[in-house]
Structure 1
């Protein structure tokens, strides 16, 4: 029998709204915005949603619409789930009130990248789960909007488990472990093998990626992501390279375990990377970064596109 956990005792207020019509969207969004406008000491709330839903909200608010920020969600969610963490953390740091006080209505782009495959959807559920830990110290109020006309029932069911205001909320570490229990596709037999313990050389990775069809700038980013991730998890037992542009893949094998579901998701305190923050950089530039621990150590698989 599954054991459900109580919401974490943190100031972060992480809610979910599931809707199947324009009327249901407004029934959830309007009270949230009204609550935000009535919250003393807070900057204006922001609604990040599909353009059609922003139009509904603008029309319903009338003259009050000028009191809130309206952002088309494709302008906010521009890349991976890790990019969304960075975007949210950066916005709160720059615009929220004391302690991170701000109301954000957030609708992922389920008709785009987030919903294009089960793998992609799983990464966004991971983001929703880990948000409970990443933003725990902040007094931010987030309402995550899920339109069942776009997001499928499996996505909505999984998302409910990532939000503390539901009766099916799961501990974020447990939910992340479930996602990691899904095996990754095996590496191909013809993958190029690089020996450890030294990290793969940036020039080696850059040249290989260019041969596989990545443009020079992308090959440079991929090579840097590999070397940064290597420094965060090394020393290495070896590495593998395979794939063709844009889906160039490097898998690193390290003897030590990472043992941290938040590895690479915690925003660095400054723009300059410190030692051990290489996984953050890798997650920002790669489409996928999978960190899998086992009894012997850790495998880190980076896929550029």
Structure 2
């Protein structure tokens, strides 16, 4: 997957369905699945949704349900928004037809991680916006399902801005910039400082272990920091602190991070363990925030 094209310029068909009852869900889902089943050169459509909605589809489809993939959304959306992007890309590479052709009905777990806090919700809105760029070269047809019995009106309104079939759709980069305009809390005055131009080998791991992370988790956090630092180049400042149970590292690179998709596109050699950079950090950390500031760019990693 490559980073990409102007909004709406590629074949990716990204739709939105809003429903507030079982009947409304079926009224949107069944025609979509019929479209996918009739599409040439495509594998069977797949539904990633709440278990109750999967049961509705099984009953409505009857014997035809065997021709549709049905996946509980709690088995798909198991981590961060960046994890969901990576999982989607991997699934398309392995299961989609030529050019990424497949119909996917996708219902995030808004009652779980994605809806746990305004912070989490903002990251999932970012996910919905950026997939328009990340998957633009692919001929995938995705229908994102929003249940108003679970998702609030504010989230639905924000999500409409991220789907090209909605009248209020906006440039994904504009939405990402709006989300990034929300300031992060300042690092605490007591934050520990590690000298640059890169975190010393073992220093982050040792610090994280002292803070109470298990050795394996401390190793993952330290690796995420090291990968991010290697991708960013020399850093002026490395700060470490705790935020509740989470460990946080802020890197201040010498050069700015210009690519708004940095860390969302897997590098070609990611599987080899080399050059994984911000992509690895986004996969391992709950949050990776890249902020442009008057003095440069700050990159903040939160683990846990």
Q: Which residue of 1 aligns with 2:3?
A: none
1:60-107 deviation per Cα after TM superposition (whole angstroms, max 9, x unaligned): 000100001000001000100000011000000000000000000000
Whether 2:113 is the aligned partner of 1:117: answer no
1:158-169 alignment to 2 at 5 Å? Answer: 158-169=158-169
Q: Which residue of 2 aligns with 1:72?
A: 72
1:1-305 alignment to 2 at 5 Å? Answer: 8-197=8-197, 199-243=198-242, 246-270=245-269, 271-275=271-275, 277-305=276-304
| Secondary structure of the corresponding residue to residue 47 of structure 1 | strand
**CA-CA distance at 1:268 after TM superposition:** 2.5
Distance 1:163 1:33, change over 3 A: same
**CA-CA distance at 1:117 after TM superposition:** 0.3
* Contact in 2 for aligned 1:214/1:245 (Cα 8 Å): no
Distance 1:209 1:245, change over 3 A: farther
Over aligned residues, Cα RMSD in angstroms? 1.3
1:241-276 deviation per Cα after TM superposition (whole angstroms, max 9, x unaligned): 00067410000011211111100001223412454x
State which drifts further: 237-246 or 225-234: 237-246
**CA-CA distance at 1:196 after TM superposition:** 1.6
| Secondary structure of the corresponding residue to residue 32 of structure 1 | helix
The number of aligned residues is: 298
* Contact in 1 for aligned 2:129/2:163 (Cα 8 Å): yes
| Secondary structure of the corresponding residue to residue 104 of structure 1 | strand
| Secondary structure of the corresponding residue to residue 144 of structure 2 | strand
* Contact in 1 for aligned 2:7/2:172 (Cα 8 Å): no
**CA-CA distance at 1:152 after TM superposition:** 1.1
* Contact in 1 for aligned 2:287/2:302 (Cα 8 Å): yes
For 1:215 and 1:259, how far apart are their aligned partners in 2?
35
TM-score where L is the length of structure 2: 0.95
* Contact in 1 for aligned 2:106/2:144 (Cα 8 Å): yes
For 1:95 and 1:35, how far apart are their aligned partners in 2?
18
1:199-218 deviation per Cα after TM superposition (whole angstroms, max 9, x unaligned): 11241111111111111111
For 1:167 and 1:202, how far apart are their aligned partners in 2?
51
* Contact in 1 for aligned 2:7/2:133 (Cα 8 Å): no
For 1:304 and 1:245, how far apart are their aligned partners in 2?
11
For 1:87 and 1:112, how far apart are their aligned partners in 2?
18
